[in-house]
């Protein structure tokens, strides 16, 4: 058992180091010295990302009969971004230090640095703020002409709005209904510190819920509560989550009201997801710019109207950082330090470690065979190298919630030792019952604090 000396305050340096060491996340183009703020997801990172995405997708689409999916192109007609207001409004105020040449977002400077107009790093004088558009642009086709300009989407939401009519006509949805999408988004961020928290290329999980204008407040409250609960189901500790309501100066150009769900990262409380009441702003702007009618004829109400949109906008890569930061713990066990990722079993990249107690006497063959058969149902990892305690520690460090060990008794009665990651408790289970026992343990999982 742990000696109760648990340290759950992770430092970013430790997390970054674990991510690299164990194959979660690597610096992009590392052999060339790395590309600032770009990261690659290794074998475990890609599994974790897919599991978070699949969990979100299941929660949003499979469990809601009135939410359907979409996968729109990253590049869209340039008029989309004029209509959305991004060409005109998607700016950050950029200031440079005249001395050390570092760049900052003026609105993110400390009060002290902002009022003195001094660099927070070296104290040098800052330039006047310039408005800097965050969208990346490129050209479609071999020749860069005015007409070929396209942007990489800075949010996935617009792909949903421009397909609103396609989707409701082809999926026979009636208002209220939602469209969900997961995909890459790109922003030329000025400051990209804090590992994968803010990057120029990232992934979003967005859902736009179309409602009658008179029902916007009710649905806004509904989605606020649903989305908060999502993070708890993902295994994030509730005490590390809170809402933050956007004040007048913070509201995006499209929002009537907005709440962020914030997480207490090692570098402070920061936004994890935004829930916005975007009113009919986007659909009306696309009607204006495209000349197409995007209103909805509501048979039940006998009324034609442009629906309001309640948006839930989560960062997939930011959620992954949250999951890892929240899961990281260091414990004293028997005088030694154990690093453990207390990931929820439903998202852990490896569900089950399978070990033979020793390699000899046919135990390795038996364990191998067991692992191969279990692969059909759970993600497994076979390990026969080193002392059993070390094998457990290796799995703890990557967050594997369960391990089974095949020993001499297994040969006699077909049972194995099942060891639980968090409590380190062990029990005997029949090999034929492992999958059922794991499924139940995952359904019942609750992290002890």
Where does this chain touch ligand GAP (CB under 6 A) — which range of 141-149, 290-298, 313-321, 441-449? 313-321
Residue 323 or 438: which CB sits closer to ligand GAP?
A: 323
Residue 118 or 240: which CB sits closer to ligand GAP?
A: 240
Q: Out of 133, 173, 181, 313, name the contact with ligand GAP by CB under 6 A.
A: 313
Q: Out of 198, 212, 342, 346, name the contact with ligand GAP by CB under 6 A.
A: 198
What phi and psi, each to the nearest 5 degrees, are found at residue 433?
Answer: -110, 0
Is the torsion defined by CA of 109, 111, 112, 114 positive or negative? positive
Q: How far is the CB of 381 from ligand GAP (least distance, A)?
A: 29
Residue 133 or 317: which CB sits closer to ligand GAP?
A: 317
199 secondary structure, DSSP code: -
User: Cα(215)–Cα(99) distance, rounded to whole angstroms?
Assistant: 54
| Residue 361 CB contacts under 8 Å (≥ 6 apart), including other chains | 408
Q: How far is the CB of 40 from ligand GAP (least distance, A)?
A: 15
Q: Out of 7, 54, 189, 384, name the contact with ligand GAP by CB under 6 A.
A: 189
Q: Out of 45, 183, 307, 315, name the contact with ligand GAP by CB under 6 A.
A: 315
Q: Which two tokens stand for residue 198?
A: 């803010």
Q: How far is the CB of 205 from ligand GAP (least distance, A)?
A: 9
Show the binding pattern over residues 106-145: x = contacts ligand GAP (CB under 6 A), - = does not: ----------------------------------------
Which residue stretches of 234-362 are H helix?
Answer: 281-290, 316-327
Q: Which two tokens stand for residue 146?
A: 């005015």
| Residue 213 CB contacts under 8 Å (≥ 6 apart), including other chains | 279, 280, 305, 306, 307, 308
Are the C-beta atoms of residues 403 and 378 closer than 8 Å to each other?
no
- The verdict on 10 binding ligand GAP (CB under 6 A) reads no
User: Cα(314)–Cα(207) distance, rounded to whole angstroms?
Assistant: 9
Residue 273 or 326: which CB sits closer to ligand GAP?
A: 273
What phi and psi, each to the nearest 5 degrees, are found at residue 353?
Answer: -90, 135
- The verdict on 271 binding ligand GAP (CB under 6 A) reads yes
Residue 70 or 314: which CB sits closer to ligand GAP?
A: 314
Closest CA to 206 of 393, 72, 101, 303: 72
CA 173 to chain centre: 28
Answer whether the bond into residue 252 is a cis peptide, omega within 30°.
Answer: no
User: Cα(99)–Cα(34) distance, rounded to whole angstroms?
Assistant: 25
Q: Which two tokens stand for residue 115?
A: 């009022």
Which residue stretches of 248-404 are H helix?
Answer: 281-290, 316-327, 363-374, 388-398
Show the binding pattern over residues 146-175: x = contacts ligand GAP (CB under 6 A), - = does not: ---------x-x------------------
Residue 155 or 383: which CB sits closer to ligand GAP?
A: 155
Where does this chain touch ligand GAP (CB under 6 A) — which range of 61-69, 88-96, 145-153, 267-275? 267-275
- The verdict on 314 binding ligand GAP (CB under 6 A) reads yes
Q: How far is the CB of 53 from ligand GAP (least distance, A)?
A: 13
- The verdict on 321 binding ligand GAP (CB under 6 A) reads no
Q: Out of 83, 95, 207, 272, name the contact with ligand GAP by CB under 6 A.
A: 272
Residue 274 or 307: which CB sits closer to ligand GAP?
A: 274
- The verdict on 318 binding ligand GAP (CB under 6 A) reads yes
User: Cα(202)–Cα(130) distance, rounded to whole angstroms?
Assistant: 25
- The verdict on 274 binding ligand GAP (CB under 6 A) reads yes
Residue 47 or 206: which CB sits closer to ligand GAP?
A: 206
In sequence order, what are the beta bridge partners of 354? Answer: 382, 404
Distance in Å from the first CA to the final CA of the chain: 14
Q: How far is the CB of 69 from ligand GAP (least distance, A)?
A: 17
Residue 273 or 407: which CB sits closer to ligand GAP?
A: 273
Q: Out of 84, 181, 312, 317, name the contact with ligand GAP by CB under 6 A.
A: 317
Question: Angle between the 43-57 and 316-327 helix axes, to the nearest 10 degrees?
Answer: 110
CB-CB neighbours of 292 under 10 Å: 10
Residues contributing to the site for ligand GAP (CB under 6 A): 155, 157, 187, 189, 198-199, 202, 204, 206, 271-274, 311, 313-315, 317-318
């Amino acid at each position: 058992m742990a000696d109760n000396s648990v340290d759950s305050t992770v430092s970013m340096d430790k997390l970054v180091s674990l991510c690299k060491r164990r194959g979660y996340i690597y610096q992009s183009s590392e052999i060339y010295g790395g590309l600032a703020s770009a990261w690659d997801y290794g074998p475990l990172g890609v599994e974790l990302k897919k599991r978070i995405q699949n969990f979100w997708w299941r929660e949003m689409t499979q469990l809601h009969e009135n939410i359907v999916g979409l996968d729109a192109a990253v590049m869209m007609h340039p008029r989309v971004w004029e209509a959305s207001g991004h060409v005109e409004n998607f700016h950050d105020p950029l200031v440079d230090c005249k001395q050390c040449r570092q760049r900052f977002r003026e609105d993110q400077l400390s009060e002290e640095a902002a009022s003195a107009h001094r660099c927070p790093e070296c104290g040098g004088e800052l330039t006047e703020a310039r408005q800097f558009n965050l969208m990346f642009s490129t050209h479609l086709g071999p020749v860069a002409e005015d007409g070929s300009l396209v942007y990489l989407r800075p949010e996935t939401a617009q792909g949903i709005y421009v397909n609103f009519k396609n989707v409701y006509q082809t999926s026979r949805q009636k208002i209220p209904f939602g469209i969900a999408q997961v995909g890459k988004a790109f922003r030329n961020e000025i400051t990209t510190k804090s590992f994968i928290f803010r990057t120029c290329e990232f992934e979003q999980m967005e859902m736009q819920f179309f409602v009658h204008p008179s029902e916007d407040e009710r649905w806004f409250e509904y989605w606020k509560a649903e989305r908060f609960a999502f993070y708890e189901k993902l295994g994030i500790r509730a005490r590390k989550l809170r809402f933050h309501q956007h004040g007048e100066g913070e509201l995006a150009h499209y929002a009537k009201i907005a709440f962020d769900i914030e997480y207490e990262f090692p570098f402070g409380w920061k936004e994890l997801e935004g829930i916005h009441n975007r009113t009919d702003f986007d659909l009306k702007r696309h009607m204006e710019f495209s000349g197409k009618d995007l209103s909805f004829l509501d048979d039940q109400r006998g009324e034609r109207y442009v629906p309001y949109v309640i948006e839930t906008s989560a960062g997939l890569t930011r959620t992954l950082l949250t999951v890892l930061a929240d899961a990281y713990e260091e414990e004293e066990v028997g005088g030694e330090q154990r690093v453990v990722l207390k990931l929820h079993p439903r998202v852990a990249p490896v569900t089950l470690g399978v070990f033979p107690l020793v390699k000899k006497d046919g135990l390795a063959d038996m364990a191998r065979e067991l692992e191969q058969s279990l692969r059909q149902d759970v993600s497994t990892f076979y390990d026969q190298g080193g002392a059993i305690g070390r094998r457990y520690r290796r799995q703890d460090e990557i967050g594997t919630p369960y391990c089974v060990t095949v020993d001499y008794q297994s040969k006699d009665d077909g049972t194995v030792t099942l060891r639980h990651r968090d409590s380190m408790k062990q029990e005997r289970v029949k090999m034929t019952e492992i999958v059922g026992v794991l499924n139940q343990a995952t359904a019942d999982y609750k992290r002890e604090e």
